[in-house]
Structure 1
Amino acid sequence: MLIAGIDIGTTSIGIVIVSAEGGETVGMLTKSNDAALPSERSWERIQEPERIVAIVRELIAGCAPYWKDVSAIGISGQMHGVLYVDRGGRSVSPLFTWQDGRGDLPMGHGEGTYAEHLCKLTGHSVSSGYGLATHYYNKLNGEVPKEASFLCTIGDYVAMKLAGAEAPVMDPSNAASIGLFSSRLHAFDLEAVRHAGMDASLLSPVGERYAVAGTTDDGKQVAIAIGDNQASFIGSVQKLEGTLLVNVGTGSQMSLYAGQHEDIPGLETRPFPGGGYLLVGAPLSGGKSYALLEQFFKAVCRSFGGVSIDDADIYERMNELAARALEEGQGRLRFGTQFYGTRHDPLVLGHVADISPDNFTPGHFALGVLGGIVDELMGYVHLLPGRLLSPVAVAAGSGNGIRRNPVMQQLLREHLNLPLHLAESKEEAAFGAAVYAAAASGAFPDLNAAMASMKRA
């Protein structure tokens, strides 16, 4: 029996086909997510939902040799972003991604930004990019489509389309990611939604544990979509408890599973698919900070030598220079990599300190940015109380920002003082979605049983 897992990322979309017994990956495909739409608004980040659905179908078609043996499909997707859907299950808006900045725009009259005003009205922490902060702006500015009957995440939309349904259903992991959600109660705070002047009927219903969105035309069960952070955790760790996950991709996260609800200032408590919670610290930077340095180096090459360098080549060279700087040990630069602000203060800026003639080099700048990314993650680790940290025996690393960068791996080992194991699957979130779908479809009694069968020690 085979299980499919699909991950809808911001820049790429991937699918894995996994054996339910032993977890062997028998097929894997990735395509660029070319659904980004142009906008005259500098702060707007939108994508075309139907193009994303088309890419998913192209990936499924590419798995034709294995598809007849697939019994269930799991989906994970970029969190926080939303789109509007009509009563027939058709998109009536673009996908407003998690990078959309309308929530950070000032409302005027001294009321702060839209996100800040929503927080004051509701008592919930809702950052710009979260779906209901986006919706709040749209509501106040007359930009909610008249045909809209539901709002949902892109994962929910793809699950609905594959299952041939007309209304989306949200897993708590996705519902919590758009804001105004009680993680303790696994339900939207409807009073807060109404107090902010928003129509609560637009919220998609929240599914029960291990819910399915429906069945495809060829008889495959489609699990309701789960958040990519939770899916990546499932796909990266050997077991739910006792492992700290650090992920560096376009963004970055520090994640730890907890069986009970925890309130820890500075950390998010996110519902976990199938039960429990994920404690998460999520900087806005991560791999984007290293990409920013890569763009700077490319600009220097063009400006002074007219040289054009391939992205892969320049990243490889940056990693080599960072490794050399680490080995030479001339005094590390201290980078604050909050180049894109933080979730709580968009006005925070990045910085660099401890520059000397010896470390004013490209290699030390590369090493410094990598160190800054790790320092941001460690800031969240240090928020965890000892009773939760003491049982942690191992760290898992996922995301290309860690997988492809030995210096990042070494820095994490130094800071965490734990063994660091890299996730076996290169498509961690897609693999995790497949494992979850195996449980949701009834192939296993629960997620722990699915992980035990499908994860190799």
Structure 2
Amino acid sequence: MFLGIDIGTSSVKAVVVDGTQRLIAAASTPLAVSRPHELWSEQHPDDWWAAVEGTVAELRAAAGRSWAAIGAVGLSGQMHGAVLIDGAGRPLRPAILHNDGRAFGEAEELNRRLPAIGQIAGVPAMPGFAAPKLLWLAHHEPEVLRQARHLLLPKDYVRLRMSGSLATDMSDASGALLLDCARRQWSPEIAAACGIDLSLLPPVLEGSAVAGELTAPVAAAWGLKPGTILATGAGDAAAGAIAAGAVNEGDAFISLGTAAQYFVARESYRPAPEHLVHSFCHGLPQRWFQMAALLNGAGALAWAAELLGKSDIGAMLAAAETAFTGPSPLMFLPYLTGERTPHNNAHARGVLFGLTPASGAEQVTQAVVEGVALALADCQAYVAETGALPEQIAVNGGGARSPFWMKILASALGKTLHVQEESGAGPAFGAARLARLALTGEDPAKVCTKPRIAAEIRPDPALADAYGGKLVQFRNLYRAVKPFYQ
């Protein structure tokens, strides 16, 4: 048995997977995001730990007798978050998250200081990455940097609490924008441009390596064997790809969680900074990936539900599907928290355009679903510039559970979508696979296979044509309102 834990933005998710890769049990605990100032997005690392302990307790009860057979634990987590800890391992401030835009000026400064950063790190500096956040802290909270002994990524703080071990993996290190992705090691040039010493950064390991063991108190509290090993794990994008079997050249998948990613696995490092497509190390040795990273995925639908006073998102989607007659007369730009690919614009904001007195909840819901789909279609054109894309694309994450959304997404992309079994488990399932690899040393090709397909959704030709035209309008609307994003 293998335990996978994913430290997401909106929740902590965990799964138990057996030796046949069957999902035995799953559990989750919600998380809240703090936004104390414009552009800010934070969570306290102790909240992650509390959510992990709650999720583990629920999962332990659900797994029954299988729980005691767990042999290894793997971790996944939201990427790019900056966790600064002191010498005692305590956080010095709340974590600055991936969708935090405060360091937009520092990102520009870092690009000026090191014009080659896009080639070294796989993408130009953007506000959400950890590297420009370090510059922001130097400018605004220098006492935090003076006290800091280590910079960790979100899942790596949780591992520290579980094992006392400091480490990160290649994919999360890439997402910090401090890694030389071709050499798979920390970049002295980027560290110098950020004004930090390399000693601030933890050891960087492959995702399937052993990165520690559960401490005796944690093992006892969780009811697991003393010495249970911990895999290094991976950032959520790479862990989701490992869950989807997107590990070989050209394998593609879309993750539709709070944020969204359009991901293509590669067997060589191919930076394409001019397209704002991220080229990062994968969570497996000698693998890389290219990715369009969108800050606004299914989180936009959660926002719409709160706005409309709907407590049941499934029912909200069902009502929109019943009312569906074609593309919505409304247009929604989903950039509620700024956007990374393809705009690199921390100041971008959501826009709901075309409202009339007849506009109701169903039209708004459909417009939000379409807005996220069109944002992914917009990015697809840039990803295609970096290499061939397959005609079939796997989809996982919470948004993949909606057949209505998948119908719209398939048509907007002009691609056949494969919704995989247990698609909601996503990165947590990938983390469990990495735990297995760390324990057994198996060939990743035998473990990281593509799950069975729960549903195949083909594009509707008529809708594909309609959404092709709407994509032009979507891009034009962004260009029209961009001057107001200040």
Scaled to the shorter chain, the TM-score interval is 0.7 to 0.9
Distance (whole Å) between structure 2 residues aligned to residue 205 and residue 71 of structure 1? 24
Structure 1 residue 80 corresponds to structure 2 residue 76:
no
The equivalent residue for 1:57 is 53
Code of the aligned partner of 2:196: M
Question: Secondary structure of 1:370's match?
Answer: helix
Code of the aligned partner of 2:154: I
Structure 1 residue 416 corresponds to structure 2 residue 413:
yes
Distance (whole Å) between structure 1 residues aligned to residue 93 and residue 326 of structure 2? 52
Distance (whole Å) between structure 2 residues aligned to residue 331 and residue 56 of structure 1? 40
Note the alpha carbon deviations across 1:408-454, whole angstroms, 9 max, x for none. Answer: 1101221333332223122111011001121122x1423222124x9
Distance (whole Å) between structure 2 residues aligned to residue 85 and residue 331 of structure 1? 48
Call closer, same or farther: CA 1:146–1:197 in 2, change over 3 Å: closer
Code of the aligned partner of 1:184: A
The equivalent residue for 1:348 is 348
Question: Secondary structure of 1:256's match?
Answer: strand
Instruction: Work out which of the residue numbers 154, 157, 167 in structure 2 matches 1:169.
Output: 167
The equivalent residue for 2:277 is 267
Distance (whole Å) between structure 2 residues aligned to residue 169 and residue 25 of structure 1? 28
Q: CA deviation at 1:7?
A: 0.5
The equivalent residue for 2:231 is 223
Q: CA deviation at 1:331?
A: 6.0
Instruction: Normalising by structure 1, report the TM-score.
Output: 0.84
Code of the aligned partner of 1:115: A
8 Å contact kept, 1:210–1:440: yes
Call closer, same or farther: CA 1:418–1:150 in 2, change over 3 Å: same
Call closer, same or farther: CA 1:372–1:419 in 2, change over 3 Å: same
Call closer, same or farther: CA 1:27–1:385 in 2, change over 3 Å: closer
RMSD of aligned residue pairs (Cα, Å): 2.6
Distance (whole Å) between structure 2 residues aligned to residue 39 and residue 324 of structure 1? 35
Question: Secondary structure of 1:29's match?
Answer: strand
Segment of structure 1 superposing worse, 241-250 or 67-76: 241-250
Q: CA deviation at 1:334?
A: 3.4
Call closer, same or farther: CA 1:294–1:238 in 2, change over 3 Å: same
Code of the aligned partner of 1:336: L
The equivalent residue for 2:371 is 372
Instruction: Work out which of the residue numbers 330, 335, 338 in structure 2 matches 1:333.
Output: 330
Distance (whole Å) between structure 2 residues aligned to residue 330 and residue 32 of structure 1? 33
Q: CA deviation at 1:226?
A: 0.9
Code of the aligned partner of 1:196: C
Q: CA deviation at 1:70?
A: 0.8
Distance (whole Å) between structure 1 residues aligned to residue 349 and residue 51 of structure 2? 36
8 Å contact kept, 2:107–2:125: yes
Structure 1 residue 120 corresponds to structure 2 residue 112:
yes
Per chain length, whose mean CA-contact separation is higher, i.e. which structure has more relative contact order (CA < 8 Å, sep 6+)?
1
Written as runs of structure 1 = structure 2, the 5 A alignment for 1:413-452 is: 413-425=410-422, 426-441=424-439, 443-452=440-449
Code of the aligned partner of 2:152: C
Distance (whole Å) between structure 2 residues aligned to residue 334 and residue 321 of structure 1? 19
8 Å contact kept, 2:85–2:150: yes
Larger proportion of helix: 2
The equivalent residue for 1:253 is 261
Call closer, same or farther: CA 1:15–1:383 in 2, change over 3 Å: same
Written as runs of structure 1 = structure 2, the 5 A alignment for 1:127-276 is: 127-141=126-140, 142-165=142-165, 168-208=166-206, 210-216=208-214, 217=216, 218-237=226-245, 240-264=248-272, 265-274=275-284, 275-276=286-287
The equivalent residue for 1:108 is none
Call closer, same or farther: CA 1:351–1:157 in 2, change over 3 Å: closer
Note the alpha carbon deviations across 1:224-269, whole angstroms, 9 max, x for none. Answer: 1310111111213476455421122211111111111123323111
Distance (whole Å) between structure 2 residues aligned to residue 208 and residue 70 of structure 1? 22
Structure 1 residue 293 corresponds to structure 2 residue 275:
no
Code of the aligned partner of 2:320: A
Distance (whole Å) between structure 2 residues aligned to residue 5 and residue 360 of structure 1? 43
Code of the aligned partner of 2:150: F
8 Å contact kept, 2:101–2:346: no
8 Å contact kept, 1:14–1:59: yes
The equivalent residue for 2:2 is 3
Call closer, same or farther: CA 1:342–1:83 in 2, change over 3 Å: same
Distance (whole Å) between structure 2 residues aligned to residue 116 and residue 75 of structure 1? 32
8 Å contact kept, 1:234–1:240: no
8 Å contact kept, 1:325–1:367: no
Distance (whole Å) between structure 1 residues aligned to residue 88 and residue 245 of structure 2? 39
The equivalent residue for 1:304 is none
Segment of structure 1 superposing worse, 223-232 or 282-291: 282-291
Call closer, same or farther: CA 1:258–1:131 in 2, change over 3 Å: same
Unmatched tracts of structure 2, length 5 or more: 118-123, 217-225, 454-486
Q: CA deviation at 1:386?
A: 7.4
Structure 1 residue 13 corresponds to structure 2 residue 23:
no
Distance (whole Å) between structure 2 residues aligned to residue 386 and residue 55 of structure 1? 40
8 Å contact kept, 1:212–1:440: yes
